[in-house]
Copies of this chain bind each other. A is one copy, B any other.
Amino acid sequence: MAKIESDLNVSRESTSLRLLVENRLRSAIGSGLFKPGQRLIERELCEQVGVGRTSIREALRQLEAEGLVTTIPHRGPIVSTISVEEAEQLYDLRALLEGYAGRECARLRDPEIIGRLRKQFIQMGAVAGQEDRSDLLAAKTEFYAALLEGCGNVFVERFLKMLLNRVTVLRMTSMTQSNRIGRSLAEIETILVAIEAGDEDGAEQACVQHIKNAAAIALEALRRDNP
């Protein structure tokens, strides 16, 4: 339905330098270039990104609203750290929301969404053996994106995206455990099968269980690092 439009969108969203800065900083934090706790000094960011202070500041406000950075008054912004308690709460909420998303996906059974889910699942299986995990992470991200879209609730989608941004760092650690990959794939297949079958309860359960397992790994790693 929106395909024609998007084809005409040559570079219509190039508007707003702020959004570019925002995404740049977001990915810099997500990729670990900026580490949790690190100070983000406005002038340095100006030089690094090559824009004025105004754009930097407004982008930082946005990230602050998302919880990705924390601004200490008269001290400046830092990359948000996450305590073990917060991580637990974050995963609890994620389980709740993703369970809901899975249930709704199973209820609605949008063919396009299911196609995207299956495609990414196959892709994940294909790249699971690679040494470099970035392809796997990309496929998993796409899988989640389809799941969130499929629930048909823009608020759930937005909130889950915010949560996902916050856990990206933790997710990397929980992914590196190679013995987890096999089980993770199996869990995702369970989700997929339940959605395709329209099994609402099963899809919800599978999503919740998947998050709980990922949470257990991530939290253990976090507890080990931050005692």
* A58 nearest in chain B by CB position: B61
- Per assembly, the copies of the chain total 2
Residues of B within 8 A of A15 (CB): 73-74
Say yes or no: is A90 at the interface (Cβ < 8 Å to chain B): yes
Residues of B within 8 A of A61 (CB): 58, 61-62, 65
When A58-B58, A61-B62 are in contact, do A155 and B74 touch as well, CB less than 8 Å?
no
Give the size category of A's interface with B.
Answer: 20 to 34
CA distance A57 to B90 in the complex (A): 30
0 or 1 for each of A149-177: is its CB under 8 Å from B? (1 = yes)? 00011111011000100000000000000
Q: Which residue of the partner chain, among B67, B73, B92, contacts A153 with CB atoms under 8 Å?
A: B92
- A152 nearest CB neighbor, chain B only: B89
Q: A54: which B residues are within 8 A, CB to CB?
A: 54, 57
Chain A positions 1 through 37: 1 when the CB is less than 8 Å from some CB of chain B, otherwise 0: 0000000000000011000000000000000000000
Please name the residue on chain B nearest to A53 by beta carbon: B54
